[in-house]
């Protein structure tokens, strides 16, 4: 049973600082399916503190340790592929075959590709008379959208884990269940406490607190241009690194009379 009324912080499922929730609606039926807890700045502070503590040790783990961790994550993810697909189908109102093959499959693809890259990645590389060192940046805040939930989560979390970063994820409040399942997978795989943290919530509250937080070293955001501008402004005073993918383009407009057979 997925725990939708708690957050995953410091290796445990914990109650939010303030009890507040929102309904998650299936867009295909327009029916409310369940409630999910919404976080606050206090929850973000707790998650960031856990990630900062964990960074000291996780950043020093070896390639071999991270490869073994990824192998376990992938094994467990494969075992829950259909469950993830069903969750995405409900959250997005997407056809089940599409949700299983493309949505859940995309997340698995990112994990497997990252593992392949990690096995032979050059963290140290001589360039002329110099040596280039590639090191984890620190604590990463991740804000993901509703339209490719597992794809976006995995393509942010996987490279961060491979690099030795610790992280806080805020998935879209419209698609929280697939993210919660992902947190369960990481927990079962043995990801050390504090390395991965999940706080559900709204952008103006949880997203803003993450963007402004002085102990978050990088923000990775995918979403609207409007929200991206706000993230960049809030992040500027702490001079954290900001990586953004903003504003969809080239929509398909289906007109009346289109042959959909």
79-103 mean pLDDT: 93
**pLDDT tens sequence across 45-64:** 999 999 999 999 999 999 99
Evaluate if residue 211 carries a pLDDT over 90.
Answer: yes
Alpha helices in the chain (DSSP H): 41-58, 63-79, 81-92, 96-98, 105-120, 149-163, 176-189, 208-212, 225-235
Q: Tell me 203's DSSP state.
A: I
- b/e map 184-198, b = 16+ CB within 10 Å: bbbbebebebbbbbb
Evaluate if residue 171 carries a pLDDT over 80.
Answer: yes
Quote the pLDDT of residue 241.
97
Beta strands 31-37 and 12-14, pairing class = unpaired
Evaluate if residue 249 carries a pLDDT over 70.
Answer: no
**Class at the top of the CATH hierarchy for domain 33-120+135-244:** alpha beta
- pLDDT confidence of 253, banded at 50, 70, 90? confident
Whole-angstrom distance between the N-terminal and C-terminal Cα of the chain? 38
pTM, to two decimals? 0.92
Angle at 75 between CA 70 and CA 78, to 5 degrees: 120
Domain boundaries, the chain: 33-120+135-244
**pLDDT tens sequence across 116-125:** 999 999 999 9
Question: Residue 255: how many CB atoms within 10 A of its CB?
Answer: 5
């Amino acid at each position: 049973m997925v725990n939708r009324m708690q957050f995953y912080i410091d290796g445990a499922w914990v109650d939010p600082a303030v009890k507040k929730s929102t309904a998650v609606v299936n867009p295909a039926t327009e029916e409310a399916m369940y409630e999910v807890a919404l976080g606050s700045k206090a929850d973000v502070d707790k998650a960031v503190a856990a990630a900062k503590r964990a960074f000291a040790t996780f950043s020093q783990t070896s390639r071999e340790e991270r490869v073994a961790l990824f192998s376990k994550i992938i094994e467990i993810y494969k075992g829950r592929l259909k469950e993830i697909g069903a969750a995405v189908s409900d959250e997005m109102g997407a056809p089940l075959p599409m949700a299983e093959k493309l949505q859940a499959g995309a997340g698995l693809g990112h994990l497997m590709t990252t593992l392949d890259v990690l096995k032979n990645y050059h963290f140290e590389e001589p360039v002329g008379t110099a040596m280039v060192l590639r090191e984890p940046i620190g604590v990463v805040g991740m804000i993901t959208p509703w339209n490719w939930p597992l794809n976006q989560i995995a393509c942010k979390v996987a490279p961060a884990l491979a690099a030795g970063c610790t992280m806080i994820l805020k998935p879209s409040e419209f698609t929280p269940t697939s993210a919660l399942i992902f947190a369960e997978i990481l927990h079962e795989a043995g990801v050390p406490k504090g390395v991965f943290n999940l706080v559900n919530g709204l952008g103006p509250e949880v997203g803003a607190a993450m963007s402004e937080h002085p102990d978050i070293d990088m923000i990775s955001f995918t979403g609207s241009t409007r929200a991206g501008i706000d993230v960049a402004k809030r992040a500027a005073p702490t001079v954290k690194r900001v990586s953004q993918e903003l504003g969809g383009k080239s929509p398909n407009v289906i007109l009346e009379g289109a042959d959909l057979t």
